[in-house]
Amino acid sequence: MFKKCVVLLALCCAPFSLLAWGAMGHRAVARIAENHLSTTAKREIARILGRETMPLVSTWADELRNDPQFKDTAPWHYVNVPTGLDYAAFTAQLKGTVAPAPALPTNAYAALLQMRQDLKDPKKTTEEKRIALKFLIHLVGDVHQPLHLGHLEDKGGNGIPVSWRGRDTNLHSIWDGDLVEYPGFTFTEMASAYDHATSAQVKQWQQDDPTAWLFESYQLCTPVYAAAITNPKFDWHFYPTFGPTVEDQILKAGIRLAGMLNEVFGK
């Protein structure tokens, strides 16, 4: 599965930062997902992960980036696409990046589909399914961070210099960590505070196709980029403006992750 990738993705340029939501956000996503798993999914996940938990493994895909075995997985964390696409064009771009086996996935969308398929495949070993599950838990979080669906031309906001409360940084990094950490929650506190979806919202979000998840993040980039153009010196006002988006995306990621795992393992 982890042979050298032979298909290069023209849509993607590797961002300098790949740590969507940071450890705090990823663990909150996984904790929210745990709250919405079916009994069967909980049992199968426990069997596959053993002594590990979903929040614990949610950052594994970021932590292994220096492991030679997984050196080709860096592009799995994001999809950078050109600006101005409608849903039809966006979907066509995504589907055009899914290469047939044995080529490795070349972006987050293709990797997400592959990991889901690997978990369903009865021929996969428990270890192969463990790897697929760890990636899946992480990647669902990644694709809900708007700038992991950012613009090709600025590498998902990495190429846009801004300041955060007087500190020089870039637009992507603010969304990867600063906004998530601003309220000062632990990941369990964050999951408890954010997990307030209604039954109707849970049903709708879990019915959405992954292409819709990614397009949603892609659309959310528009006001993010506009704010950086208007005033790149972000102060405390930036959190009240975009904090609700962070909360919504972390919540949706958790709900949708649970929905995908419930579907994979059966209800």
Locate tokens 């972000």: which residue?
Answer: 234
Residues 6+ apart with CB under 8 A from 84: none
Per-residue pLDDT, 267: 57
187-214 pLDDT, tens digit per residue, is 999 999 999 999 999 999 999 999 999 9
Per-residue pLDDT, 19: 66
Reply yes or no on whether the pLDDT at 221 is more than 70.
Answer: yes
Mean pLDDT computed over 171-192: 94
Per-residue pLDDT, 101: 74
Per-residue pLDDT, 25: 95
Residue of 189, 171, 170 whose CA lies nearest to 247 = 189
Written as one string, the DSSP assignment of 150-183 is -BGGGTTTTT-EEEETTEEEEHHHIIIIIHHHTT
Mean pLDDT computed over 97-108: 86
122-142 pLDDT, tens digit per residue, is 999 999 999 999 999 999 999
Instruction: Give the tokens for residue 152.
Output: 């090709």
Q: Return d(Cα 151, Cα 221) in angstroms, integer.
A: 8
Tell me the HSE value of 69 on the side-chain side, using a 13 A CA sphere. 5
Residue 122 three-state SS? coil
47-99 pLDDT, tens digit per residue, is 999 999 999 999 999 998 778 888 889 899 999 888 899 999 999 999 888 88
Determine which helix (DSSP H) or strand (DSSP E) holds 234, and give its type and residue range. Answer: strand 233-234
Per-residue pLDDT, 45: 98
Per-residue pLDDT, 236: 83
Reply yes or no on whether the pLDDT at 7 is more than 90.
Answer: no
Reduced to 3 DSSP states, what percent helix, strand and coil does the chain have, rounded to the nearest 5?
A: 60, 5, 35
**Is there a contact between 196 and 239 (Cβ–Cβ < 8 Å)?**
no
Per-residue pLDDT, 103: 83
Q: Model pTM? A: 0.90
224-267 pLDDT, tens digit per residue, is 999 999 999 998 888 999 999 999 999 999 999 999 999 999 85
Burial of 263 per CB tally in 10 Å (0-12, 13-18, 19+): middle
pLDDT confidence of 18, banded at 50, 70, 90? low
Domains and CATH numbers, the chain: 22-265 (1.10.575.10)
Per-residue pLDDT, 68: 85
Instruction: Give the tokens for residue 65.
Output: 């980036």
pLDDT confidence of 3, banded at 50, 70, 90? very low
**Cβ neighbours, 10 Å, residue 67:** 10
Per-residue pLDDT, 228: 93
Mean pLDDT computed over 10-28: 65
